[in-house]
A = this chain, B = another copy of it.
Amino acid sequence: MRPSIITLLTDFGTKDYYVASMKGVILRINPQCFLVDITHQISPQDIREGAFLLAHTFSYFPKQTIHLAIVDPEVGGKRRPILLKTRNYFFVGPDNGLFTWVGEKDGVDQVVELTNPEYFLSPISSTFHGRDIFAPVAAYLSLGMRPESFGKRINQWVTLDWKRPEEKGKRLIGEIILIDHFGNLITNVEKKRFFSFIKDQPFMIKIGKKRISKLSQGYWEGKKGEVIALFGSTDFLEIAVREGSAQERLKAERGDPILIERGQ
């Protein structure tokens, strides 16, 4: 039998004992399972960023992978702990919108509120459900327990709105939704939307004071230091700088607008 895989995505960082104690808890319950870090560097409390990254990663893993995702500003408060089963994967974490886009992409089969203390650590701290609730539930799930074992089925769960680009006449107005490790600016303008908007006409992309009138095929295009626009591996419009950081070059921040003008 192939080993179970549990991935971890959190905003816990890696300098403390938080992530490792979760891994210990999992391995104590299922010493055979494979643990893979997605990232622990989600910006603190940034549910939206966590949800976006999870949605662009989960489907590369083998089917039946269990994704443990914790960005949980309301830990110990009213938000519910849940297990969400999509067509091909399992997700365990807080019910605060983290699973919005994985649900949209893979289709939600079943959502269970985690209420059965039999599968929790005891006592439960009020500040660290990652270790005390989510990790043990993911571990028992990896042993083959059925989702219903962990609590009661629910029909509603929290979802986030996706900020879609707005169209105003000949302008499409989007924004930067993520800045990656290289300083590439990833926007909310999807490839399909972009092409249906520009309709084979000339276009101008405006970001800060910069104007870009063509799409590049890769980061290597243009001269060193040139600002380029391209569709990256996520299918969203990206602004990049060859062998440099667009973030630094344009002093850009998440939330900054990007404009696409058609027919110029």
Contacts and interface: CB of A to CB of B under 8 A. Distances in A.
Interface in A16-66: 16-18, 20-25, 27-28, 31-32, 34-42, 44-45, 53, 56-62, 65
Given A20-B57, A38-B20, A219-B75, A125 B232 contact: yes
Contacts of A2: 31-32
Interface in A65-79: 65, 73-77
A28 B5 CA distance: 10
A73 B15 contact: no
Contacts of A15: 39, 41-42, 180-181
Contact of A219 (B20, B73, B242): B73
A13 interface: yes
A233 interface: yes
Contact of A217 (B14, B59, B126, B181): B126
A259 interface: no
Interface centre among A42, A125, A220 (most CB of B within 10 A): A220
Interface centre among A21, A75, A128 (most CB of B within 10 A): A21
A3 B31 CA distance: 7
Contact of A31 (B53, B62, B221): B62
B39 A20 contact: yes
Contacts of A37: 14, 20
A245 B38 CA distance: 24
A12 interface: yes
Q: Tell me the interface secondary structure of chain A in the complex.
A: loop
A42 B38 CA distance: 18
Contacts of A20: 7, 36-39, 57, 60
Nearest to A35: B36
A235 to B, nearest CB: 9
A218 B126 contact: yes
A40 B40 CA distance: 14
Given A62-B27, A73-B243, A219-B76, A127 B233 contact: yes
Contacts of A60: 20-22, 24-25, 28, 131
A142 to B, nearest CB: 13
A230 B127 contact: yes
A194 interface: no
Closest 3 CB pairs of A and B: A13-B181, A24-B60, A76-B218
13 contacts: A12-B181, A13-B181, A14-B37, A14-B39, A14-B40, A17-B38, A21-B56, A24-B36, A73-B220, A77-B221, A125-B232, A128-B232, A132-B233
